[in-house]
Chains A and B, each alone.
Chain A
């Protein structure tokens, strides 16, 4: 007996329920935009500028003790993250007016508070505010360029069925980006270069899933010229449902493991990928297709040219 998680004759009416899910997605996207404007992302030092110091302390200590040790340096508000049993701590502070000689001053302050060679500074990284701003701008440009290029490519590839497939893909991508960004705002996980890389990966995955469904629609449109576009679309989604669920499911299981066991450094990118893969699967079914239907007021499929 073969394993069949999704029966081959499944026939869920996805297209019939599209209005509810489009409204739901619109509400979620609007909420994400509001959250982004009101609360904002928790930018890392790459995008915000500031200084990060990672220290190893060979005796038991606390975040408050570390802050007190650095108080003479007048660094303003210091965020301290404890890495647990490694005895390592990550400290972040926004502004450092005079970087010159900072590492020596840091060593002196820690030696004074803890004793010689008890606290060891393993890394110091500083990013100027201007560089942080430029990186943020480039990040937005990268995401926008990827989205627009994907949309144009898909529109061209599916032009024989409908130019609106490109629009459907772009809107699904924008939806996915907003959902992921909204989740990052709520969770306040750090948004840094690795999170940005995860977001760009989500864009690639989401459009890949959309292409799978769109390609099946194109195939079915060739075979079933008498049927309307909603019926063709629903059939195509049901036919690819098993592949979609299994592929996404496997990836999601891996990401859950990464989120649970990957530790604090991997958590933001694992979280981004997890939310992105879930919403990418959802948008391929409930966003891209309805956009095409909305665009194409008629239900007849255009005559397709004979394959070469």
Chain B
């Protein structure tokens, strides 16, 4: 089991949120950090009003994409010394698709 925590949260002038998240193994075996960028229109359309709610939605999304996100994030940190970034917008709303 992994826990998802917000390390940092930034809001751009256009309202886009950039969340830096850390996924940590419950037994302390592993941690990897990555970024998620959520476009302002998605936040306005949906019911996401605070970063913790966004984090909860991203946790559900991460469950379905876990291995891919984990490998991408670890590889980016190991080889390129940068955080991998996952963007959510109108074309790819991910867990922020309004019903």
- Measured CB to CB, the residues of A under 8 A from B are 54, 83, 86, 88, 99-103, 117, 120-126, 265-266
Check A123 against B32 for contact (C-beta < 8 Å). Answer: yes
Q: Does B27 contact A (CB under 8 A)?
A: yes
Smallest Cβ distance from A5 to chain B, in angstroms?
35
Please report the C-alpha to C-alpha distance between residue A153 and residue B8 in the assembled complex, in whole angstroms.
Answer: 56
**Given A83-B81, A100-B27, A122-B83, 19 new contacts (CB under 8 A):** A54-B78, A86-B81, A88-B81, A99-B28, A101-B28, A103-B28, A120-B33, A122-B32, A122-B33, A123-B30, A123-B31, A123-B74, A123-B78, A124-B29, A124-B31, A125-B30, A126-B29, A126-B30, A265-B79
B31 touches A121 (CB 8 A): yes
> Are A121 and B33 touching (Cβ within 8 A)?
yes
For the residues of B in contact with A, the DSSP-based class is mixed
Question: Nearest Cβ in chain B — how far from A11, in angstroms?
Answer: 47
Q: Which residue of A lies closest to B79 (CB)?
A: A265
Query: Are A125 and B74 in touch, CB under 8 angstroms?
Result: yes
Q: Within the assembled complex, what's the spacing in Å between the Cα atoms of A120 and B33?
A: 9
**Which residue from chain B places its CB closest to the CB of A88 in the assembled complex?**
B81
Contact yes or no, B77 A54, CB < 8 A = yes
Q: How far is the CA of A54 from the CA of B28 in the complex (A)?
A: 15
- For the complex formed, measure the closest distance between the CB of B12 and the CB atoms of chain A, giving whole angstroms: 20
B31 adjacent to A120 (CB under 8 Å): no
Given contacts A100-B27, A103-B24, is CB(A123)–CB(B77) below 8 Å?
Answer: yes
Report how many residues on chain B are interfacial, defined by Cβ distance under 8 Å.
Answer: 18
Asked if residues B30 and A265 are in contact (CB atoms below 8 Å), the reply is no
Check B7 for interface membership: any CB of A closer than 8 A.
Answer: yes
Chain A residues, Cβ within 8 Å of B73: 123
Complex: how many Å from CA A94 to CA B27?
A: 17
Among all A-B residue pairs, the 5 with the closest Cβ atoms: A99-B28, A102-B28, A124-B31, A86-B81, A126-B29
Q: Determine the residue in chain B with the shortest Cβ distance to A125.
A: B30
Across the interface, name the chain B residue whose C-beta is closest to A83: B81
Known contacts A54-B77, A54-B78, A86-B81: A123-B33 contact under CB 8 Å? yes
On whether A265 and B29 interact (CB within 8 A), knowing A103-B24, A120-B7, A122-B83, the answer reads: no
State how many angstroms separate the Cβ of A107 from the closest Cβ of chain B.
9
Chain B contacts with A in 23-58, Cβ cutoff 8 A: 24, 27-33
**Complex: A102 Cα to B30 Cα, angstroms:** 9
Do residues B81 and A99 form an inter-chain contact, with CB atoms below 8 A? no
A90 to B45, CA, bound (A): 42
Q: For the complex formed, measure the closest distance between the CB of B25 and the CB atoms of chain A, giving whole angstroms.
A: 8
Q: Which chain A residues lie closer than 8 Å to B77 at the CB level?
A: 54, 122-123
Partner of B30, one of A88, A120, A124: A124
Complex: how many Å from CA A124 to CA B79? 14
Residue of B nearest to A100 (CB): B28
Closest B residue to A96 by beta carbon equals: B28
A54 surroundings in chain B (CB, below 8 A): 77-78
A-B contact pairs, 24 of them (CB 8 A): A54-B77, A83-B81, A86-B81, A99-B29, A102-B28, A103-B24, A103-B28, A103-B31, A117-B8, A120-B7, A120-B33, A122-B32, A122-B83, A123-B31, A123-B32, A123-B33, A123-B73, A123-B77, A124-B31, A124-B32, A125-B30, A126-B29, A265-B79, A266-B79
